[in-house]
Amino acid sequence: MARAAAAPARLNDVKGRVLSRLRRAIRVYDLPAVEKISEEDSGTPFRVLVATMLSAQTKDKVTDAASGRLFKVADTPQALARLAESRIARLIYPVSFYRVKAHHVKEASRLLVERHGGDVPDTMQELMALPGVGRKTANLVMIVGHRRPGHICVDTHVHRIANRFGWVRTKTPEQTEHALYEVVPRRWWKDVNLYLVTWGQQVCRPVYPLCGACAIESLCPRVGVTRTGRVSPTARARARA
């Protein structure tokens, strides 16, 4: 029994070492747009919700700028619900699917006012009842907006990298989320998205990952990786420092 129990403990220790190294390694990079907004004095759950809705399939710089323009005009559900959908679309352009997102943001704001008194709900079920809000957005609002650590937010980066790390063997982000709850120590749940998304954008890329510049190269099995990107001697040395 002792040997059987030791194997999961060792695996959890490896995951902890990976996440601990990533925590240090990502400090040189900018925060993703949603986390940046949450760190601001006005980073309310509503702002986090809207920014997350805008961020889907959109680069962080575009999300950050679009959110800033929108919040200068309307930064509460009441104010945003009163805006014309066409004006919202102009304010958030060029985020991807900006017309669809303008409709979802306006409708979500209206429902927040009508059903929740203008507050952002703090349950997954209520969040996912809002238009344009799926599991990824709901989990990120719970973690970043409401400071609830008992969630793991999984997007395409987290799904891809968790499989590349060999932590899970899954086909969809939702499968990955549920699998990660079983294998990642709870203390790291809230950090998984921030660490893996940042690393996935900067180093652990979908194509030609920069394995030679990776802070966890020695701990990664590189599942599915057949070719890697070129890394400068300086970047390689910095990763091993």
| Contact status, residue 49 vs residue 141, Cβ threshold 8 Å | yes
**In the prediction, which pLDDT does 46 show?**
96
Residues 200, 174 share a domain: yes
| Active-site residue identified among 136, 171, 190, 191 | 136
The DSSP result for 127-154, as a single string, is HHTSTT--HHHHHHIIIIIS---S----
Residue 59 has pLDDT above 90, yes or no: yes
**In the prediction, which pLDDT does 5 show?**
38
Using CA atoms, how far apart are residues 80 and 103, in angstroms rounded to an integer? 11
Residue-wise pLDDT for 129-149, tens only, equals: 999 999 999 999 999 999 999
User: Which of the four pLDDT bands, split at 50, 70 and 90, describes residue 232?
Assistant: confident
Segment among 106-120, 138-152, 174-188, 224-238 with least mean pLDDT: 224-238
Of 145, 172, 193, the one marking the end of a domain is 145
| Active-site residue identified among 60, 101, 106, 155 | 155
Residue-wise pLDDT for 207-225, tens only, equals: 999 999 999 999 999 999 9
Residues 116, 37 share a domain: yes
| pTM for the predicted model, two decimal places | 0.89
Is residue 75 part of the annotated active site? The answer reads no
**204: containing domain:** 2-30+151-240
Is residue 36 part of the annotated active site? The answer reads no
Of 145, 160, 185, the one marking the end of a domain is 145
